[in-house]
Amino acid sequence: MSSHPHILIVGASRGIGLGLAKACVNAGWTVYALARSLAGSAELKALAEQHSRQVSLIECDLLQANAAQLIKNAIGPQRLQAVLLNAGISGPEHQDPQQATATDIGTLFQVNAVAPIALAQQLTDLVEPGGVIAFTSSQMGSLQLNRAQHMPLYGASKAALNSLLLSWSSTYEQLPWSLLAIHPGWVRTDMGGANATLSVEESTQGILQVLTAHAGLNHCAFVDYENKTMPW
C-alpha cells in the first residue's frame, strides 16, 4: 500500500466508522468520510476541521439513488487504496420474523446487504488495482458459527451481505483488488452497547491493520478485526 493511502468510509458519523476515520488520520491517511447528516455528526465535523487537509466530508445517504455519483464528484480523479462500506442498522428491536413487516425487512436488507454491495460495484473505477474493498460484516452473518440466535433478522442481513460479496467475487477470474467481509468484534457503540468487550479504538486499530494486510492479495476473505479467518 502507498505511504499516503486514501480511504473512503461509508457510514462515518459515529461508532466504528468515526473511529476508523480517526485511526486513519492518525496513521497519515487521507479520508473521504460519508455521513447521511453532517448536522448530526458534530465529532466528524470537528475531525474534518482539525485535519482539513486529510479529511473530506460527503453528505449522502447510503440509500440515495445518486450516492455513487455524489461520491465520484467529491473524490474527483484521486484513486483510493481502500474503501470500507460500514453503515449498518440492527433492524426491528423484536428481531421476530413473525412480527417483521415488509418495510422492516426491506430496509434492513437494503441498508446492510444490497445497497453496500451495489454502491461498491459502482465505485470500482475509483479503486487502485491491489487496493481493498471491505464491508463491515459480523460474526452473526456466519452460517457455520450460527451466533445470531438473539438477533436472527440482523444475522440474516449480514449473511446476505456475505453471500452477495461471495457471488460478486466469483464473477472475476482474477480479482483486481481484495474483497473483504470484516467482523469488527463486539464493540462499545450505540449498536454494540455498553457491555461490549472492545473499545472503538481497539476494533478500529485492528481494522486498519486488516485493510493494510490485504492490500495486493487480490482475494476474497472473511476475517475479524484481528485478521483471523472467519467461517462463511
Ligand X SMILES: NC(=O)c1ccc[n+]([C@@H]2O[C@H](COP(=O)([O-])OP(=O)(O)OC[C@H]3O[C@@H](n4cnc5c(N)ncnc54)[C@H](OP(=O)(O)O)[C@@H]3O)[C@@H](O)[C@H]2O)c1
Residues that bind ligand X (CB under 6 A): 11, 13-17, 35-37, 61-63, 86-89, 111, 136, 138, 184, 186-187, 189-192, 196
List phi, psi (to 5°) of 105: -70, -40
Name which of 134 and 187 has its Cβ closer to ligand X: 187
Minimum separation from the CB atom of position 48 to ligand X (A): 15
Residue 97 Ramachandran class (φ > 0 left, ψ -120 to 50 alpha, else beta)? alpha
Strand order in the sheet with 30-35: 55-59, 30-35, 6-10, 80-85, 127-136, 178-183, 220-224
Minimum separation from the CB atom of position 92 to ligand X (A): 14
Minimum separation from the CB atom of position 144 to ligand X (A): 17
Name which of 128 and 168 has its Cβ closer to ligand X: 168
Length reported for the chain? 232
Set of cell numbers at residue 112:
446492510
Minimum separation from the CB atom of position 176 to ligand X (A): 24
Name which of 89 and 217 has its Cβ closer to ligand X: 89
Name which of 118 and 218 has its Cβ closer to ligand X: 118
Beta bridge partners of 55: 31
Minimum separation from the CB atom of position 29 to ligand X (A): 18
Name which of 39 and 102 has its Cβ closer to ligand X: 39
Name which of 111 and 126 has its Cβ closer to ligand X: 111
User: What is the SS3 assignment for 156-223?
Assistant: HHHHHHHHHHHHHHCCCCCCCCEEEEEECCCECCCCCCCCCCECHHHHHHHHHHHHHHCCCCCCEEEE
Closest CA to 216 of 159, 183, 178: 178
Minimum separation from the CB atom of position 190 to ligand X (A): 4
